[in-house]
Structure 1
Amino acid sequence: MARGRRPEETVGLRQLVIDAWSWLNYKPVMAEAGRPGSRAFPELAKTWVPPHELRRLAAYKVLASYDNNQAGQLAAAGGDASALERREPGDAAKLVDTALGYLLGSEQTITVEGADHAAEETPQPGAVEAAAVQDRLRKWADKELLTFRIQQAERAAVLLGDSVMVLAWNPAKQRPTLRVYDPGFFFPQWGDEDEDFPSRVHLAWELPADDEAGLKARVRRVTYELGPIAEGVGGEDVEGGGSTAEIRTYPWEPGRASNVTCYLTDAEWLLEDLKNGETLDQLPMDKAAYRVRPDGTELNRLDLMIDFVPVVHIANTIPDGGEPWGRSILARVLQALDELAATDSDSSAASATTGTPIIGLAGARLPVDRATGKPQELQVKAGAVWQLGETGRMDALDTSPQLAELRARVDHLLERIAANSRVTAAGLGTLDATEVPSGYALKLALGPLDALVGMMRLAREHKYRLLFKMVQRLYQAGRGEGWSSGETLPARLAWAPHTPTDRAAVLEEVVTAYGAGVLSLETAVTMLLEAGYPIKDASQEVARIRAKAEEEAAARVEEAASRRREPDGEGDREMSEGVTEQETGRASGSVGG
């Protein structure tokens, strides 16, 4: 049984498939996945596509069609000709973009544990090193446009349920580069001993033929694979137990030897050279054309000098047990979106008959076309005059009640979609603000959205920690400037609040608590940062606050000393004269004595 798929249960003569994409079983077009001659999924009939991946790839295409208002076209390609009349005003894309906005918040910040204490008078052990790593990671993020990459990856994850980010060391730039891939290109190969991460990963996609360049249709496969260190690639021979093994000491684990490394293979195959049964993991290596790096190195099991696969798979939700794949924000409400599109189509048809009603005439004198001698057709338009006989009558079909009912059903479906997706009506912006009696009531209305965002961020917490760990280790492996050997420090991605906060209330709370001495300055600044105040770096803000306080204290001491040296005012002058007289008297007394 393939990983990520539950057993099929037989019901009568049909099979009920229960897996990560069971919510799409109601669509007849899903039965077209992998079928030869399919108009809906022609790309899935290729011989190199693994059979157990067909449902996942088909699900991605169905979801993408909803995002691009093409679900009707996809259904028509599957045999439903009436689906071409389907109206899709963009409700699916709005739901995806709204959920994405709440997930990301206003900004994302890289933080390293302990870095906020580096500005203290007596920093905690390791705080200075943590602040330095945090600064270097943030500089890397600026150079690699991390915020932009996160937007790319997270929109795919929210829409499709999955996204993929790949790191690679760039010798020319002397830093790790980050690239986002379509999850439809991602094919992990799970082994029997792989629990959390696959030891082999394929990134594969088809390249179309280019007649002008003389290129035939081909498939490209990029493979990352963990394996024993080959002889003569930088390892050390260690004899033990009657055998010789190649080992290596990695800079992030100075005291531990490892015999594992990651190999990169990048090759292409002509589609015409592939036979049935030669799927992605069984492509004939004797027919492969390996790609070459700019420096002339052939990418055939190239040793990357790292002991991990630099690929991060992001799931939109916390996967079920045994499932590596996430679930789209549209998954649970896809049928409601279909009903909404159908109702909107009916509403459009009803509005046409309401705006231009169907009229029945009796006893009308129809004008005659002089050329043909036949009666002309009457048109319903402004300024039209019809002549009726003495017994003439005109009846109009009133469809406005049906139109009002359809519009009410549209509102009902939108409420169901908002509730079942947990984005809520308040989150979608369809809730009338005048209907909210208090801020507490609004907080309760946003409760499901808070839980949704919390779950989505929790599903990503470990993945971004893993990403920043890989970035540090690639810097260490590439001997980047400022990066030395040693243990990798834990770094995470901090998200801004997803809903507006009462900043004035948070400020009052922080001032009161800090003034009473129950909060440290670091915690107070962190609370202001999470409340949405424009603080870029908590540690730097703490340092600036302390520096300003020291300057003000020094200024007060200097002012007090200046007043003692240069008295000002009548009272100060009299006091100064009295002090002088006392000093003179003491001096004269001592002389007289």
Structure 2
Amino acid sequence: MDVGLRQFVIDAWSWLNYKPVMADAGRPGNRSFPELVASWLPPHELRRLAAYKVLAAYDNNQAGQLAATSGDETALERRELGDAANLVDTALGYLLGSEQKIAVEGAEHADGETPKPGSTEAAAAQEQLRKWAEKELLTLRIQQAERAAVLLGDSVFVLAWNPEKQRPTLRTYDPGFFFPQWEDEDADFPTRVHLAWELPEDEDAGLKARVRRVTYELGPISEDIDVEGVVRQYPWEPGRPSNVTCYLTDAEWLLEDLKRGETLDRLPMDKAAFRVRSDGTELNRLDLMIDFVPVIHITNTIPDGGEHWGRSAIARVLQGLDELAATDSDSSAASATTGTPIIGLAGARLPVDRATGKPEQLKVEAGAVWQLGDSGRMDALDTSSQLAELRARVEHLLDRVASNSRVTAAGLGTLDASEVPSGYALKLALGPLDALVGAMRLAREHKYRLLFKMVQRLFQAGRAEGWTAGESFPARLSWAPHTPTDRAAVLEEVVQAYGAGVLSLETAVAMLMDAGYPIKDASEEVARIRAKAEQEAAIRMAEAAARQGNGDDEEEQAGEDGAPAPRGGVETKQKPKEAERGPVGESR
């Protein structure tokens, strides 16, 4: 049965099927995605790459230009006012919170508690990881990678050991360059990963158009040598020999040398030009001396069963964004006729062009004077009511987009504060946003744990100072609260609970940190609080001792003056002294 569809597809990018440009992806002669007809691209990757380009067009207010390439000439008049980018940036801001910190399990404990075995080593590892994060600008890298993940659904981190810096380096890559090779669909991670992109022709430098491919591949250690059964002891798994290592290959191919069917995973190695490292080593199956692929794929959402790719934050509201753009275009046209209305004249004396002898066209402008006859009339077309309706429709569409994206009107800042009766009502309004951020952070939890595990192992493989053999410490990325908190209410709650003895000082400080108070390190803050309390206690004891000493002096003075000097609430009587006698026996 012909229902007017060329092909009905349900996959990770089927939410884009309504776009005509998706049907033309990869077809020779299409103007929307000319780069996707490259012979080296695998056919099954074309829909994913086309989806990335469509999403990037929305982010840059170019969705109309992209639609025009598929034959929609009216799309060039489309008004795009940054709603897609605003939605992406808002979701990104709530995901990241105010800050991110590396936390190693067991690194911190209460002062009064006995440290658990290994806590000293965990604290040292946490400090080293935080120093590495500061040197590698981890916060900046996370911003780069996570914006791509929120917008496109996917992002990529790549780690590499730098012998000069004596630390792992961290880079982010566009997910359009990322091509994992899954030999087993049920595997947790791919055993081979390609990072590939085209390099344009440079006539000035005499370089032809070419494709560059960087490959990470796991394989047996003895694959390239004649000895069988070679094993290696990796420092992160002492006592467990392994025969697996990771090979790195970095090469380029001229596009003119590639034939049909020589796709990304089948490029002819005899025509490859291998890159050379700064120390002169050719990057052709270079043994990295690690047993893992140092590439981390970040997904914006938890992939569906059987899928490996995430979904963009604006994926399911793209049609709503299209409606917003169309309404904005109509509003622009209506505002033009409202600000400069269409006027009909009857019985007017129109000026005549002396050159042509034809009446000149009148313009509506300030200071214009038109002469009308006795029966003359002027009528203006009033489109203000239509403009008001269009503005109301824009507000409706914004609420619909905010609701369906789960960012909510309160999260986007379009909710009128006067419409919120209480803080509890605002919390309920932000409920979908809380669930959205929780799901996004859950999708990333394991990936960042994996990233920090790889960082530790690269430090061990590079034999960096301070890193000894042993299993990696479980480290995670700690996110700050994504919504503002009532800091005054939290402070009051903490003071009351700690004063009543139902909260420890460590828990109280942790609650203040979660509320947004500028506390950098919980253990240091607890130590400062305890030190200040001990100092104040010592001052009070000294003052009490001083007051007690002053009281004893007053008692002694009172006794000399003959006044009663009670001590402990009991009066004491002194015996009268014997009368002194003179040398002749007379009393004095």
Please, what TM-score do these two structures have when normalized by structure 2? 0.92
Distance in 2 between residues matched to 1:226 and 1:482, nearest whole Å = 28
Is 1:167–1:177's contact at 8 Å kept on the other side of the alignment?
yes
* 2:580 aligned partner: none
Q: Does 1:470 align with 2:454?
A: yes
Query: 3-state DSSP class of the match of 1:257?
Result: coil
For 2:363 and 2:90, the matched residues in 1 are separated by: 45
Matches within 5 A, 1:405-484: 405-484=389-468
For the 8 Å contact 1:228–1:259, the answer to whether it is kept is yes
Name the amino acid aligned to 1:51. P
Tell me the CA shift for residue 368 of structure 1: 2.0
* Distance (whole Å) between structure 2 residues aligned to residue 387 and residue 11 of structure 1: 61
Spell out, residue by residue over 1:459-478, the C-alpha distance to the aligned partner (whole angstroms, 9 max, x if none).
11111111111111111111
Matched, 1:340 2:305: no
Name the counterpart of 1:89. 81
Mapped to 2, the partners of 1:196 and 1:113 lie a distance apart of 24
Of 571, 580, 584 in structure 1, the residue corresponding to residue 554 of structure 2 is 571
Once the two structures are TM-superposed, the CA of residue 297 in structure 1 deviates from its matched residue by 0.7
Q: Is the contact made by 1:316 and 1:327 (CA closer than 8 Å) also made in structure 2?
A: yes
Q: CA deviation at 1:552?
A: 3.7
Cα offsets for 1:94-153 (capped at 9, x unmatched): 000011111111111111111121754632222221111111111111000000000000
Structure 1 392/126 Cα, relative in aligned 2: closer, same or farther at 3 Å? same
Distance 1:90 1:319 in 2: 28
User: SS of the residue aligned with 2:443?
Assistant: helix
Q: Distance in 2 between matches of 1:325 and 1:231?
A: 32
- Which residue in the other structure is 1:186 paired with? 178
Q: For residues 434-455 of structure 1, what are the alpha-carbon distances to aligned partners after superposition, in whole Å with 9 as ceiling and x for unaligned? A: 1111111111111111111111
Determine the structure 1 residue equivalent to 2:102.
110
Q: CA separation of 1:575/1:93 partners in 2, compared to 1, >3 Å: closer, same or farther? A: farther
Q: CA deviation at 1:399?
A: 1.4
Residue 344 of structure 2 corresponds to residue 360 of structure 1 = yes
1:576/1:147 CA distance change after superposition, 3 Å: farther
- Tell me how far apart the structure 2 counterparts of residues 575 and 461 of structure 1 sit (CA, whole Å): 76
Over residues 495-551 of structure 1, what are the superposed CA-to-partner deviations in whole Å (9 max), with x where a residue is unaligned? 111111011221222222223333222222211111111111112222322333344
Determine the C-alpha separation between the residues in 2 that align with 1:121 and 1:574.
51
Contact 2:42 2:263 in 1 (8 A): yes
Secondary structure at the counterpart of residue 201 of structure 1: strand
Larger radius of gyration: 2
Q: Which residue of 1 aligns with 2:56?
A: 64
Q: Give the distance between the partners of 2:207 and 2:441, measured in 1 at CA.
A: 44
Are 1:279 and 2:271 counterparts?
no
Partner SS, residue 72 of structure 1: helix
Going from structure 1 to structure 2, the CA distance change for 1:560 and 1:484 (only over 3 Å counts) comes to farther
1:186-232 residue CA offsets vs partner (Å, 9 max, x unmatched): 00000126521111100001111111111111110011111111379
| Alignment CA distance shift 1:575-1:79 (3 Å) | farther
What is the aligned partner in structure 2 of residue 259 from structure 1?
Answer: 243
Describe the shift of the 1:201–1:382 C-alpha distance in structure 2 as closer, same or farther (beyond 3 A): same
Deviations 1:27-53 (A, max 9, x none): 001112111122110110000111000
Distance 1:281 1:525 in 2: 54
Deviations 1:388-431 (A, max 9, x none): 11222222222111111111111111110010001111111111
Give the whole-Å Cα distance in 2 for the aligned partners of 1:263 and 1:80: 48
Partner AA of 2:383 in structure 1: T
Matches within 5 A, 1:376-395: 376-395=360-379
- The 1-side partners of 2:158 and 2:348 are apart by 75
Question: What residue in structure 1 maps to residue 579 of structure 2?
Answer: none
State the identity as a percent: 81
Query: Which of residues 134, 142, 147 is equivalent to 2:134?
Result: 142
Match of 2:506 in 1: 522
Measured at CA, do residues 390 and 510 of structure 1 come closer, stay the same or move farther in structure 2, by a change above 3 Å?
same
More displaced stretch, 126-135 vs 270-279: 126-135
Match among 141, 150, 153 for residue 158 of structure 1: 150
Structure 2, unaligned stretches of length 5 or more? 567-573, 575-588
The root-mean-square deviation of aligned C-alpha atoms, in Å, is 2.5
- Which of 198, 202, 210 pairs up with 1:210? 202
Is the partner of 2:31 in helix, strand or coil? coil
- For residue 125 of structure 2, the aligned residue among 129, 133, 136 is 133
Q: SS of 1:230's equivalent?
A: helix
Q: Distance in 2 between matches of 1:425 and 1:193?
A: 40
Distance in structure 1 (CA, Å) of the matches to 2:67 and 2:454 = 42
Instruction: Give the alignment of 1:241-320 within 5 angstroms.
Output: 244-320=228-304
**1:325-384 Cα distance to aligned partner (Å, 9 max, x none):** 110011010000001101110111111111111111121111123344332221111111
1:98 equivalent to 2:103? Answer no
- On the 8 A contact 1:422/1:449 being kept in 2, the answer is yes
Q: Distance in 2 between matches of 1:515 and 1:362?
A: 86
**1:581-592 aligned within 5 A:** none
The answer (yes or no) to whether the contact 1:567–1:576 under 8 Å persists in 2 is: no
Shift of 1:80: 1.1
- Summarize the Cα distance change of 1:11–1:480 in structure 2 as closer, same or farther, 3 Å threshold: farther
Query: Secondary structure, in 3 states, of the residue corresponding to 1:16?
Result: coil
More displaced 10-residue stretch of structure 1: 416-425 or 224-233: 224-233
* 1:193–1:428 distance in 2 versus 1, CA, 3 Å: closer
TM-score by length of 1: 0.91
CA 1:576/1:197 → structure 2, altered by over 3 Å: closer, same or farther? Answer: farther
Runs of 5+ in structure 1 lacking a partner?
1-8, 238-243, 580-584, 586-593
Q: Is the 8 A contact 2:110 2:506 kept in 1?
A: no
Q: CA 1:127–1:47 in structure 2 vs 1: closer, same or farther (change >3 Å)?
A: same
Aligned pairs, number: 567
Indicate if the aligned counterparts of 2:222 and 2:243 stay in contact, CA closer than 8 A. no
Counterpart secondary structure, 2:532: helix
SS in 2 for 1:269: strand
CA distance in 2, matches of 1:163, 1:408: 37
Q: Which amino acid aligns with 1:202?
A: H
Q: 1:570 deviation in Å? A: 5.0
Amino acid at match of 2:526: V
Distance 1:338 1:280 in 2: 35
Evaluate the alpha carbon distance shift between residue 410 and residue 552 of structure 1 in structure 2; reply closer, same or farther with a 3 A threshold.
same
1:36 alignment counterpart:
28
